[in-house]
Chain A
Amino acid sequence: MTSLTETDLAPAASTSLVDVRGVSKSFGATRALIKGNFDVRPGEVHVLAGENGAGKSTLIKILGGVHRPDAGTVCRDGAPISFRSPREAMAAGVSVIHQELSLIPTMSVMDNIMLGREHSVLGFMTRESQRAFVDGALARIGLAIDPDRLLGSLPVGAQQMIEICKALSTGSGSRLIIMDEPTSALTEPEVERLFTAIAGLKADGCGIIYITHKLEEVYRIADRITVLRDGQHVITAPVDAMPANELIRHMVGRPLAEQIKRRAPLPGVTVLTALGLTVIDRTVHSDAAASPDGTRRVRVSPMNLTVRAGEIVGLAGLQGSGAGDVLAAVFGALDSRYAVHGSMTLAGRSYIPQSPGRAIANGVALLTSDRHRTGFVPAMSIRANTSLAALQTVSPLGWLLMARERALADAVIQTLRVRAQAMTVPITTLSGGNQQKIVLAKWMCTSPRLLLLDEPTRGVDVGAKHEIYELMNQWTEQGMGILLITSEMPELLAMADRIVVMHRGRVMDVMTRNQADAERIIHAAMGGEINGIAE
């Protein structure tokens, strides 16, 4: 009976690189994937879309040998297969770029790329041939990174590029390459390089599964789109047959205004002023124009910055612009390797950010850009992660009041509409986007007056993105000041009331929302001539 329907559904299976039929997967009570159907043909980019927790990562983890399906079949080149480990999947020509970085920070770039397939003769690694291989792989996606550098010393974006480079350099021939939100940590030029590489792979006859929450990307590279919702297959269609509003309707289950609207209240009192804010890297000694990979002595040249209540100030810049260092300096998160100079006032009082603890006590919050490394504690529950930064308020004299903690955390989680089976399960059981919401919830619990946001909507679905923008509107209406870093131009243009553009640690341009346009921002971010600074 069942086998009959399966053959009915199957298209010309022989033409598919991979064919997923009726695959289901549950985690405890959560049904992450219910009878998913999906196929990829050679030379196509198949975009997998859906809200946070829709089951996209689960599907590709099944393809990549991380999870085993509870039911259903997966065919590779027409033959049914069942990968028992990522290694088997890799051997079958399936390479996966996972949503969470899977590299080893304490190893060099080269060793990371070669891990698991070292070139060796009788067990001794042959350095020269490895080196040539890695140089070739790096050059193919246009990366100028020294292969001997420690991976952990690179910025997140560069690490993500290495991960991509690693996946692209495995095997050859008609392969399947799976990318789970590869661009969420990349800057504009890096994204371009990735897209060029993807075009090359398509020409070679590879099939590509691409997961993203960025609509512009979908329409730039997709050939076909499959939408999942609540673990179920909704629709598969060629990209031409699916305009953006249609796509969003399928994902969210209801129509959604695509426009982001900023309701800017009148700016109130000054929340933060920084005069001559400077960040120096003590470990770098030469003042000379720094090395190409972004290490330099002066991370941030003396700059002035004000954020007023109700205002969203955007900090724009490419990788290594120093925008992230500014946030870290204001939050007191820089370690003793860096020296911070300049004077700051917070809500009119002099403010010296010594430690994150002091910053939080003063009403400052920092949402970091890398939630896995610096955002949450994987082994702890959703609720414990949410209340972590605000524990002081629910534990008078150090004694934890469980009921008060629950009330505080659950209320915030509810306003962010997190999809979770229970608040007591580990945060790692959440989908990527919902993890991001928890990290945001953590900071809402501290009710900050100055919120520093570094890529707040990274990995968050369209619907949730709109919810976060709406929340930013509400928070500024309540008098919060926000300093925002985002690599998404539409987000920056839509949400920032004022934009400060930085390049190599220097402020290049400042503009109000009316003056801002993408071209001017990019021009300044690339180090273009200063168009009249309004400082």
Chain B
Amino acid sequence: MASLSETHIRERLHDLRVLWRRVWAYPVTPAIMALVLVLCIGLTFPGEKPIVYGDDGQEMQLPAAFHKWTTHRDTLRLVSVYGILACGMTVVIITAGIDLSVGSVLGLTAVCFPLLLMYFHWPPVLAVCGTLAIGTVCGLVSGGITAVFRIQPFIVTLAMMVFARGLAKAVTGGKKAPLYIQSEDGTIHYPPVVQAIRTRWFDDNLAVVTVVFLISALITWILLSRLRWGRYLYAIGGNEQAARLSGVPVAASKILAYALAGLFSAVAGICQAAQETNGDPEAGATYELTAIAIVVIGGTNLMGGSGGIGLTVLGALTIGYIQKILSINQVPEAWRLMLTGIIIVAAVLVQRRRA
């Protein structure tokens, strides 16, 4: 009898193990686990509870930062620009490439946008399209050089990173380009496009940049999983030779991937400039590293051939929360950097699957 129930338990345990393995096999499971891990850290260290004194002099405790909705909403808003960059980065990394220039292209487009809009007085739609075109061209150039001359994308995009930053500084002479008009009496007016991008809807609860990020993610998802081109990208990243011999237009597909990364960089550049109400030629420095970290934490393989945009969105949330939690706990800058490094490695380790 005893042995019977023992075998019963053992079978149950075995079933559970099989189930666990099956769940673990989904690529999103580890990405969700990494995010949950970070959220748990947040719950453990929710930040200080501010104490205020009411009108009657009574002591009142407000909820800790992590328990407040505004913290989460800000996290989402702050990570959006990085997230937009990460969308393009995901596409490039799936082809087994890398784009180090996204941060610099963000800076370049952030100064070009005010230039076209305020200095050349282009109509808003044209100014936005023109800026997007500049970003896309940067991507086309890096992609073209990579694919046609078969130079490693690391090198090509490193060069583009330096070049685009230089161009951004050359365009404004190193100064910030304002995106507002100051009238005689000192009041500041924003052009309607800028105002539109800066707004937050629903009582400040949903930033337009966040919406832009989610739309970018949606577009990328469609490209990757519903277009022939997306399938080609996975094939190229997985086995370029086999892809070529199956008739995949390798060069064209790759060039388009880098162009898309450039386009998203420009989108991020416009968002960034509008939020800061000026175009800073220094904007976006080291953003490429955050974008790569987001993609990798999501679980997309740097070796190419696998991954997806859902993972990247999860990775963006993970990175966003890491930074938010460190800031609400007032961790000093030096520690923040070190902890970020440790948490990134820990999150990636959580995801690594055992054979």
Contact = CB atoms under 8 A, between A and B. Distances in A.
A104 to B, nearest CB: 15
Nearest to A387: B231
Nearest to B227: A398
B78 interface: no
A380 B238 contact: yes
A260 B22 CA distance: 43
B244 interface: yes
A376 interface: yes
A356 B238 contact: no
A197 interface: no
Q: How large is the interface on A (under 10, 10 to 19, 20 to 34, 35 or more residues)?
A: 20 to 34
A124 interface: no
Interface residues of B, number: 29
Contacts of B238: 377-380
- Helix, strand, loop or mixed for chain B's interface? helix
Contacts of B114: none
Interface in B238-259: 238-239, 241-249
Interface in A411-463: 442
A398 B247 contact: no
B226 interface: yes
13 contacts: A28-B21, A356-B247, A360-B246, A361-B247, A374-B239, A376-B239, A379-B301, A380-B234, A380-B235, A398-B229, A400-B226, A400-B231, A442-B246
Contacts of B248: 357, 388
A318 B227 CA distance: 43
A377 B95 CA distance: 12
A99 B230 CA distance: 31
A392 interface: yes
Interface string B189-210: 0000000000000000000000
B234 A379 contact: yes
Contacts of B242: 373-377
A366 B305 CA distance: 23
A258 to B, nearest CB: 34
Given A377-B235, A377-B239, A392 B228 contact: yes
Contacts of B246: 356, 360, 388-389, 442
A379 B228 contact: no
A368 B241 CA distance: 11
A525 B239 CA distance: 33
Interface of A: 28, 331, 333, 355-357, 359-361, 366, 368, 373-380, 384, 388-389, 391-392, 395, 398-400, 442
B332 to A, nearest CB: 42
Contacts, number: 80
A374 B245 contact: yes
A378 B239 contact: yes
B136 interface: no
Contacts of A398: 227-229
B235 A388 contact: yes
A220 B247 CA distance: 41
A270 to B, nearest CB: 24
Contacts of A28: 18, 21-22, 25
Contacts of A400: 225-228, 230-231
Nearest to B22: A28
Given A380-B305, A384-B231, 4 more contacts: A28-B21, A373-B242, A377-B234, A442-B246
Contacts of B230: 400
Contacts of A378: 238-239, 305
A357 B247 CA distance: 4
B231 A391 contact: yes
Contacts of B227: 395, 398-400
A524 B243 CA distance: 36
B238 to A, nearest CB: 4
Given A376-B242, A377-B305, A395-B227, A357 B249 contact: yes
